[in-house]
Amino acid sequence: MIVALAGGVGGAKLAFGLSRVLTPEQLTVIVNIGDDFEHLGLHVSPDLDTVMYTLAGIANPETGWGLAGESWAFIQAVERLGGPIWFRLGDRDMATHVLRKQALASGQSLSAITTAFCRQLGIDCTVLPASDDPVRTTVRTDTGTLAFQDYFVRLRCEPVVRGFSFDGAERARALPAALAALADPALQAILFCPSNPFVSIDPILAIPGLRPAIAAARVPKIAVSPIIGGAAVKGPAAKMMAELGHDVSALGVARYYRGLIDGLVLDDVDIALAPDVQALGLKVAVRPTLMRSDTDRIALARTVLEIAKSWTSAS
């Protein structure tokens, strides 16, 4: 059994690969909810949606969010009525946010709704929000504190980042199914997907109980570096690292995750960093990690599972 911690794009891609290599019972994906927000009175869960859509094979391959073949009649009509259009909601994607909001308002939990959506979309592995309680990432910037989507979408990550907080995290209860998966005797590895450490992984770890459960698990904990050749594949991870004073490299990622993970998977282009990562006391594997196609995703999933197996037998 494998647990993967995931944010949006990068996490979803590796989760997709894992879902094609493992049986449904073998894979649990714990997904960040710090990006969630209420918009137009609806409940938007960007990372859950990206993971679901990617696993279902219906994600938009270009944008990294939303659905393939999406249309935009709704948001154009919102504009005609004078409504806000800075967060673009696609016509098909709207169904997810409308049904989710309605179900939440009727008392259903985010995890139960996610399970129902996954069933409808033909996803048979387990996809779990990190909590059923709200956690909201806010971004401290040079120009003030911003709600995550304000920073991420409306301001296009332009303000200089000084730090983050995860509102509600300290009161949020870790999802019992997530804690159970991390404590499962059949667990073989915990994977930190190539997601943003600050705004995808940290909001998960900020929820009481999850970090200790990860620490307590006697299995290899392996991160795949989201930084390749000093740049993020997608999103603001590299810009954030620079602004927060970290080394913008897989070595910076290794330092950030030190104490939490057993080892890091670096991309081939970062082979020169391997000795420095090892010097931190971490294991290292150097592999192709860029996922441009489904084939790449499946290959990386196999690679990471092999690494987990070899690190298990070695330890």
Q: Residue 92, interface with a copy of itself (CB under 8 A)?
A: yes
Q: Residue 183, interface with a copy of itself (CB under 8 A)?
A: no
Q: Residue 101, interface with a copy of itself (CB under 8 A)?
A: yes
Pick between residue 41 and residue 245 the one whose CB is nearest to a copy of itself.
41
Pick between residue 75 and residue 304 the one whose CB is nearest to a copy of itself.
75
Pick between residue 74 and residue 290 the one whose CB is nearest to a copy of itself.
74
Pick between residue 1 and residue 103 the one whose CB is nearest to a copy of itself.
103
Near a copy of itself by CB under 8 A: residue from 24, 25, 61, 76 = 76
Near a copy of itself by CB under 8 A: residue from 105, 186, 215, 271 = 105
Q: Residue 287, interface with a copy of itself (CB under 8 A)?
A: no
Q: Residue 94, interface with a copy of itself (CB under 8 A)?
A: yes
Q: Residue 91, interface with a copy of itself (CB under 8 A)?
A: yes
Pick between residue 75 and residue 174 the one whose CB is nearest to a copy of itself.
75
Other C-beta atoms closer than 10 Å to the C-beta of 122 total: 10
Q: Give the nearest distance from C-beta 75 to a copy of itself in angstroms.
A: 8
Pick between residue 80 and residue 156 the one whose CB is nearest to a copy of itself.
80
Q: Residue 68, interface with a copy of itself (CB under 8 A)?
A: no
Near a copy of itself by CB under 8 A: residue from 62, 82, 156, 216 = 82
